[in-house]
Chains A and B, each alone.
Chain A
C-alpha cells in the first residue's frame, strides 16, 4: 500500500475554503484515493474518493494531479463542525484495507 504525507495541522477561518493537501507519490495505478475524517471520539466518516478524475459531492471536492502523486481535498465553506482529523488513504484494490496515517488536524476558527 502507498504511503502518504499530510501536514500535521492546519487552520481555516469559518466560511472560507479549506484546502487539505496529501502526497501519495508511491500510489499504484489501481489504488483509489480515499478521504475520511474523524471528529473527536467518533468513528471515521467517509468524505469522498477518486481514481484520476476530479470528484465533487455534497461534502467536498477532490482534486487529483495528473500524475496521481498528490491530491487536495477542498471543503468549500468550512464550518466549526468541520474541525476534525482528515485522513488521505490510498486503498489497495487487492486487500481493500484502509491503512490510516497520521492525518491533518483541521481547526476551523470563528
Chain B
C-alpha cells in the first residue's frame, strides 16, 4: 500500500511551452501533497504545499505564477510549469500525506512518487 505515482516519468519540451505533471495517490486519500524539485547532485528543495480544495502555499523564492499547482481531489495534484525555460530542467518529485493515520502511532506519513525528469530544450 501507500503508492504514489507520477506522470509522465520523463518529458522533453521546447522552451516557452507549458508542461503538466500529475501526482496521484493510488491506494489512499491525501489531503496534503508536496512538490519538490531536485537539481543534479543536490538535495530535494520543497517548492510548495498543496491542500485539496484550496490554494497552494509556496516556499520563499518559488514563483507561483510559473509553477501552477492544482489539487482538485483527494488523490490528484498537478504541477504545471508555465513558459518553461532550460533552467527549469530538473527532477520534480511529489509526496502525498495520508488523511488518516496508517497505524504509525498517530503520525500522518508522507509517501513519495518516483519523480518526473523534465528537460527543456
Contacts and interface: CB of A to CB of B under 8 A. Distances in A.
Interface string A76-110: 00000000000100000001111111110000000
Contact of A98 (B95, B104, B113): B95
Contact of B93 (A43, A49, A102, A103): A43
A15 B108 CA distance: 33
Contacts of A96: 32, 97, 108, 110
Interface residues of A, number: 20
A103 B6 CA distance: 24
B46 A46 contact: no
A46 B34 CA distance: 15
A42 B112 CA distance: 9
B12 interface: no
Nearest to A97: B46
Interface in B1-26: 4, 6
B43 A44 contact: no
B107 A49 contact: yes
A44 B49 contact: no
A45 interface: yes
Contacts of A32: 107
A43 B113 contact: yes
A98 B110 contact: yes
Nearest to B113: A43
Task: Give the top 9 A-B pairs by smallest Cβ distance, nearest first.
Answer: A43-B112, A100-B44, A100-B43, A44-B112, A43-B114, A43-B115, A43-B93, A43-B113, A102-B43
Interface of B: 4, 6, 32, 34, 36, 43-46, 49, 91, 93, 95, 97, 104, 107-115, 117
11 contacts: A43-B93, A43-B95, A43-B112, A43-B113, A46-B111, A87-B43, A96-B32, A96-B108, A97-B34, A98-B110, A100-B43
